[in-house]
Structure 1
Amino acid sequence: MENKIELKKGLILKNIKNNNSLFDGLSYEGLCIIRDFEIPIFVYNLLPNESANIEITYYSKKCCFAKVIKLLNVSKERRILNEYEKLLYESGSAPLLSLDYSKQIEFKETLIKKLFARNLNIKEINPIIKSPKEFFYRNKITLQIEYKENEILFGFFKKYSHSLIPQINLLLANKQINNFYKNILLNPQTEIDIKIKETIFSLGPNKITLRSSNLDNNIEIVLNINKKIEKRLIDELIELNKLKKNYKISIFDELKNKWINLLEHQGIKYQIDNIFFEVKNDSFYQINEELAKLIYKQILDWIPNKNLNIVDAFSGVGTIACFIANKTKKVYSIEINNNATTQAKRNIEINKISNIEIINADANEWISKNKEAIDLVIFDPPREGLKNKSIEAIIQSQIKQIIYLSCDPKTLIRDLKEFTYSGYSIKKIQSYDMFPQTPHIETLVLIERKNET
């Protein structure tokens, strides 16, 4: 029965109960869903089988958001957080952190099963593959910066705000990034590191991105600056950087929308099996590389034979193309970003691969014009999924096989429905917990064109 209380921002509701199961009581984003009122209330930090006093922090005619003021009844599935975990959880960067990891996996598996059953009538789904690490798995992280009178704070903005939650430890970032964070950014140990920190923050960056290599001790440091940059400070930082060449420092000038690389470098280096990559500051590379390796091996396993011409669409720096090249006749690595294309060429040179053709073009247009040459397409699109013209290009080309790697189950389902309406069937599905402590799920799907009779 609906409660007729008039909801509004700032209203405190007492003894609100979440009596739903784990799988019905949480939204895709990991928020508790209260349906006792005329509109749903999404509550942060309230698990199923818990009750609390809550305060509405946002109101609209369609829904409300709320925060817990006081927990009244605590679920046995709630983790007790230490001081570092509490800071991370408060920032909203790890919405599932309060839930035991085994329950996080159950939640994600059930979500995937429900989406495929409801929308595609597929009821048999493989168990999700867990991340080898629950914490310290990210090779890249971005921190917001706040300047106080006598200190500089680093952390994450609280969700839906510009309120900074400072972080003592970076629980999701790998050990190399954490060492740099603690020993350079928070508490520099040597004279040169003290001077580098002073010069960096004299420039006044509003955020800093750190990325580490799994091959060496190099750290990529990207400074975002949204004010006039003094050349004197840049020159000073260049001279300091020459003394610490393992710091790959770049600046993104937000006012001029351009990059400044202090020292010329080829990028951060990575290795997956016997394949090597160089990735520069403005290019995408998988965050959880240990799990990415398992995904790439699965893609390789789904390629039926070595006589295929394969398109790696939206290929970035050519990671997937390089990984699969040894099991294909030819790979067309298609990427519209010119900088990423340049890096992809560099990566095939490093690995001495001769059967990859790097193409700087719109993948949709290229596929439409070259459909006769293609046996299989691999898609790894951004979170918003494929655009209509991508799907239309594939459908019209009648390409036999598609491997689709998605980082958003909802846009994946939307796109799969379009393929199944147009003569394709779903053959295999495998999900991965690429981002533990968050609700995000990576899913790999093998799609094949039905034989015409």
Structure 2
Amino acid sequence: MKKGEEARGIITEYRFPDRGYILREDGKVLIKHAVPGREVLYRVTKARKGNAEGRVLETLAPGACERRESLCPAVGVCGGCLYQTLPYAEELKLKEQLLQRLLGEAIGEDFLWEGLTASPCENAYRMKMEYSFGDAYRDGPLTLGMHKRGSHYDIVETDRCELVHEDLNLALRETLRFFRERKVPFYHKLRHEGYLRFLLARRGTHRKELLLDLVTSSQLPTEEERELLRAWRELICSLPFEASLKGLLHTVTDSVADAVKNERTEVLFGEAQFEEELSGLRFAITPFSFFQNNADGAELLYEKVGQYVGETGGKVVFDLYSGTGTIAQLVAKHAERTVGVELIEEAVIAARENAARNGVQNCRFIAGDVLKVLDEIEEKPDIIILDPPREGVNPKALRKLIRYGVPRIIYVSCKPSSLVTDLEILREGGYHTTRAAGVDMFPRTPGVEAVLLLERREPASDEMTI
């Protein structure tokens, strides 16, 4: 096939996490964002050495399992959900098959597969949304929502998203209406001109508290900006949210990167954080804190981690990539002490505050790159927990921690395809997967969490290169 060529086909084989294959007589075409059984019209975007990649232009016919009517008007266009039309039982079946096959191929030996645990909530589970201001097409009217699938610029309005509580949809709708009426310009990513950038929205699942943060550039005159923010604050404070409005913030960033960077934040109303409860502990959450998006699912995930950690009495546990210290504090209940390492300093500060809030005194949190910090820590671990970002663990860091020779490593992965690469290095260092499970933290999307217990055997070779 040639680049630019269009064809139709049925997604008949599937690969993790969001890619499918259309099988053809002349080879395979890798198609992103496809659901098994669908007949699609696609365009080839890459073609080389007999292989091709393409993207879906149109769904011509649904798959046999697609029996659910989606209430979201942006389904198929928004870059978020993929499985809106699948009944949840079918989605779970598909995810478990994919995850089990992926791990089976990567591990290459017998291990105990303990199944995929369903999320307690299929809808309205997300605690955080990062909405972008922009337009749906070039020079179109202001909109606020998610990026269009496959686009860095076009924004899809998502004011009826099924993944969030109606409080967040209400905040989005009213904020968009407010700024549309006043014809306030959004920040143009190519010209670096404009004012409105993002709306960060966080809502606690258990304590039901709401935090909103308007992120802008500094490109409005001071008096005009002050009056605008005052009027927006009055609007938001008058809305009939089910949750308690805990704080209303304004963050300024002039970074050219299309990402939220906290250069300066002021409190317009209330406080700059709220609290959430998880597994009997309390955690303070700011707009920029890392915290699991699915609180009920997170409790199931951490329960599984605790099972794999096992007996910790008198032991030192390293929690690497510890975020705001959730796992470290849960493990600390029975361990001699835990050491958390996290690159983002703000998250480390929050972890220390959370530990103090919960009366956990045998936790120590260190800010820094795991690769470097491992050379500086005097303690030696008895157990290591890894919960890295999506790209996985730095290979050099993996080889360093292998040299500790701990009997057990627990690996928590939000992107199992990255996990596969890390497993090769761990296996080379003598660690073999004995138990594995999945937890569906992200219903309606291709995302799924994997938890693995790796136990040490004699390495295949004595040489490990750092």
Q: TM-score, normalised by structure 2?
A: 0.82
Whether the 8 Å CA contact 1:311–1:374 is kept in 2: the answer is yes
Once residues 241 and 145 of structure 1 are traced to their aligned partners in structure 2, the CA distance between those partners, rounded to angstroms, is 16
Q: Tell me what 2:449 maps to.
A: 442
- For residues 144 and 275 of structure 1, do their structure 2 counterparts lie closer, same or farther at Cα, with a shift above 3 Å needed? same
Once residues 386 and 64 of structure 2 are traced to their aligned partners in structure 1, the CA distance between those partners, rounded to angstroms, is 41
Q: Tell me what 2:462 maps to.
A: none
Q: Tell me what 1:132 maps to.
A: 120
Once residues 163 and 449 of structure 1 are traced to their aligned partners in structure 2, the CA distance between those partners, rounded to angstroms, is 49
Whether the 8 Å CA contact 1:222–1:252 is kept in 2: the answer is no
Tell me the alpha carbon deviations over residues 134-192 of structure 1, each in whole angstroms, 9 at most, x when there is no partner.
1111001122223599964222222221333222401111343234334x3356xxxxx
Q: Tell me what 1:154 maps to.
A: 144
Q: Tell me what 2:191 maps to.
A: none
The yes-or-no answer on 1:109 pairing with 2:103 is no
The yes-or-no answer on 1:298 pairing with 2:293 is no
The yes-or-no answer on 1:8 pairing with 2:3 is yes
Once residues 45 and 419 of structure 1 are traced to their aligned partners in structure 2, the CA distance between those partners, rounded to angstroms, is 31
Whether the 8 Å CA contact 1:218–1:248 is kept in 2: the answer is no
- For residues 50 and 274 of structure 1, do their structure 2 counterparts lie closer, same or farther at Cα, with a shift above 3 Å needed? closer
Q: Tell me what 1:95 maps to.
A: 82
Q: Which amino acid aligns with 1:246?
A: K
Tell me the alpha carbon deviations over residues 79-135 of structure 1, each in whole angstroms, 9 at most, x when there is no partner.
3434x4351332231122233322221222112222222222245412100111111
Q: Tell me what 2:21 maps to.
A: 33
Once residues 206 and 111 of structure 1 are traced to their aligned partners in structure 2, the CA distance between those partners, rounded to angstroms, is 37
Whether the 8 Å CA contact 1:425–1:447 is kept in 2: the answer is yes
Tell me the alpha carbon deviations over residues 218-264 of structure 1, each in whole angstroms, 9 at most, x when there is no partner.
43223343562433245346656886473331314133854322228
Tell me the alpha carbon deviations over residues 275-300 of structure 1, each in whole angstroms, 9 at most, x when there is no partner.
10112222211111111011112222
- For residues 395 and 56 of structure 1, do their structure 2 counterparts lie closer, same or farther at Cα, with a shift above 3 Å needed? same
Whether the 8 Å CA contact 1:321–1:356 is kept in 2: the answer is yes
Once residues 134 and 65 of structure 1 are traced to their aligned partners in structure 2, the CA distance between those partners, rounded to angstroms, is 30
The yes-or-no answer on 1:328 pairing with 2:318 is no
Tell me the alpha carbon deviations over residues 402-434 of structure 1, each in whole angstroms, 9 at most, x when there is no partner.
111111112112212211221222232111111
Q: What is the CA RMSD across the aligned residues, in angstroms?
A: 3.1
Once residues 318 and 49 of structure 1 are traced to their aligned partners in structure 2, the CA distance between those partners, rounded to angstroms, is 42
Pick which of 332-341 and 405-414 moved more. 332-341
The yes-or-no answer on 1:313 pairing with 2:328 is no
Pick which of 396-405 and 95-104 moved more. 95-104
Q: Per the alignment, in what secondary structure is the counterpart of residue 206 of structure 1?
A: strand
Q: Tell me what 1:3 maps to.
A: none
The yes-or-no answer on 1:65 pairing with 2:59 is no
Once residues 196 and 307 of structure 1 are traced to their aligned partners in structure 2, the CA distance between those partners, rounded to angstroms, is 60
Cα offset, 1:359, TM superposition:
2.0
Q: Per the alignment, in what secondary structure is the counterpart of residue 89 of structure 2?
A: helix
Q: Tell me what 2:401 maps to.
A: 394
The yes-or-no answer on 1:268 pairing with 2:304 is no
The yes-or-no answer on 1:209 pairing with 2:200 is yes
Whether the 8 Å CA contact 1:46–1:68 is kept in 2: the answer is no
Whether the 8 Å CA contact 2:73–2:160 is kept in 1: the answer is no
Q: Pairwise mapping of residues 129-278 of structure 1 onto structure 2 (< 5 A)?
A: 129-146=117-134, 152-161=142-151, 162-182=153-173, 184-185=174-175, 204-214=195-205, 216=207, 218-226=209-217, 228-236=219-227, 244=237, 246-255=246-255, 258-263=262-267, 265-278=271-284
Q: Per the alignment, in what secondary structure is the counterpart of residue 306 of structure 1?
A: coil
- For residues 358 and 234 of structure 1, do their structure 2 counterparts lie closer, same or farther at Cα, with a shift above 3 Å needed? farther
Once residues 31 and 421 of structure 2 are traced to their aligned partners in structure 1, the CA distance between those partners, rounded to angstroms, is 27
Pick which of 61-70 and 319-328 moved more. 61-70
Once residues 397 and 415 of structure 2 are traced to their aligned partners in structure 1, the CA distance between those partners, rounded to angstroms, is 17
Unaligned runs of 5+ in 1: 1-5, 188-193
Whether the 8 Å CA contact 2:68–2:84 is kept in 1: the answer is no
Tell me the alpha carbon deviations over residues 7-64 of structure 1, each in whole angstroms, 9 at most, x when there is no partner.
332x4425x344x3xxxx2232434312316563344676444545x24162443523
Whether the 8 Å CA contact 1:310–1:374 is kept in 2: the answer is yes
Q: Which amino acid aligns with 1:95?
A: L
Q: Tell me what 2:67 maps to.
A: 79
Q: Which amino acid aligns with 1:209?
A: L
Whether the 8 Å CA contact 1:406–1:442 is kept in 2: the answer is yes
Q: Percent identity?
A: 20
Whether the 8 Å CA contact 1:34–1:40 is kept in 2: the answer is yes
Once residues 316 and 403 of structure 1 are traced to their aligned partners in structure 2, the CA distance between those partners, rounded to angstroms, is 16
Whether the 8 Å CA contact 2:433–2:452 is kept in 1: the answer is yes
Q: Which amino acid aligns with 1:294?
A: L
Q: Pairwise mapping of residues 340-359 of structure 1 onto structure 2 (< 5 A)?
A: 340-359=347-366
Whether the 8 Å CA contact 1:196–1:237 is kept in 2: the answer is no
Q: Tell me what 2:422 maps to.
A: 415
Q: Per the alignment, in what secondary structure is the counterpart of residue 415 of structure 1?
A: helix
Q: Per the alignment, in what secondary structure is the counterpart of residue 159 of structure 1?
A: coil
Q: Tell me what 1:283 maps to.
A: 289
Once residues 451 and 289 of structure 1 are traced to their aligned partners in structure 2, the CA distance between those partners, rounded to angstroms, is 38
Q: Per the alignment, in what secondary structure is the counterpart of residue 393 of structure 2?
A: coil
Q: Which amino acid aligns with 1:260?
A: R
Structure with the largest fraction of helix: 1
Q: Per the alignment, in what secondary structure is the counterpart of residue 359 of structure 1?
A: strand
Q: Which amino acid aligns with 2:91?
A: Q
Q: Which amino acid aligns with 1:288?
A: N
Whether the 8 Å CA contact 1:139–1:177 is kept in 2: the answer is no
Once residues 215 and 195 of structure 2 are traced to their aligned partners in structure 1, the CA distance between those partners, rounded to angstroms, is 9
Whether the 8 Å CA contact 1:199–1:236 is kept in 2: the answer is no
Pick which of 96-105 and 413-422 moved more. 96-105
Structure with the largest fraction of strand: 2
- For residues 197 and 392 of structure 1, do their structure 2 counterparts lie closer, same or farther at Cα, with a shift above 3 Å needed? farther
Cα offset, 1:450, TM superposition:
2.6
- For residues 350 and 70 of structure 1, do their structure 2 counterparts lie closer, same or farther at Cα, with a shift above 3 Å needed? closer
Q: Per the alignment, in what secondary structure is the counterpart of residue 114 of structure 2?
A: coil
Whether the 8 Å CA contact 1:205–1:226 is kept in 2: the answer is yes
- For residues 172 and 320 of structure 1, do their structure 2 counterparts lie closer, same or farther at Cα, with a shift above 3 Å needed? same
Q: Tell me what 2:190 maps to.
A: none
Once residues 214 and 375 of structure 1 are traced to their aligned partners in structure 2, the CA distance between those partners, rounded to angstroms, is 34
